Amino acid sequence: MAQTILIVDDDKELRTLVQSYLAEEGFRPVTAANGREALFVARQEKPDLIILDLMMPEMGGYEFIRAFHKEADVPIIVLTAKLEEGDKVLGLELGADDYVTKPFSLRELTARVRAVLRRAGKTAAEPEILRVADITIDVTGRVTTIGDQRIDLTPSEFALLATLMSAPGRTFSRLELLDNLQDTAYEGYERTIDVHVRRLRTKIEPDPRHPRYIETVFGFGYRFAAEQR
> Which tens digit of pLDDT belongs to each residue from 20-35?
999 988 889 999 999 8
Distance CA 76, CA 157 (A): 13
CATH topology of domain 4-120: Rossmann fold (3.40.50)
Burial call 111-130: b when 16+ CB within 10 Å, e when fewer: ebbbbbbebbeeeeeeeeeb
CA–CA–CA angle 189, 178, 63 (5° rounding) = 65
pLDDT at residue 123, as a whole number: 31
Where in the chain do CATH 1.10.10.10 domains reside?
Answer: 129-224
Q: In which residue ranges of the chain is CATH 3.40.50.2300 found?
A: 4-120
Under the banding of pLDDT at 50, 70 and 90, the label for residue 185 is: very low
- Cα–Cα separations (whole angstroms), residue 114 to 22, 117, 132, 207: 11, 5, 30, 35
Cα first-last separation, the chain: 47
- Amino acid identity of 226? A
Q: CA–CA distance from 38 to each of 23, 72, 170 (Å)?
A: 19, 13, 42
Residue 71 C-beta-side C-alpha neighbours within 13 Å = 13
Q: How confident is the model at residue 202 (pLDDT cuts 50, 70, 90)?
A: very high
Share of the chain above pLDDT 90, in %: 38
Strand bridging mode 28-32 / 4-8: parallel
CATH no. of 129-224: 1.10.10.10
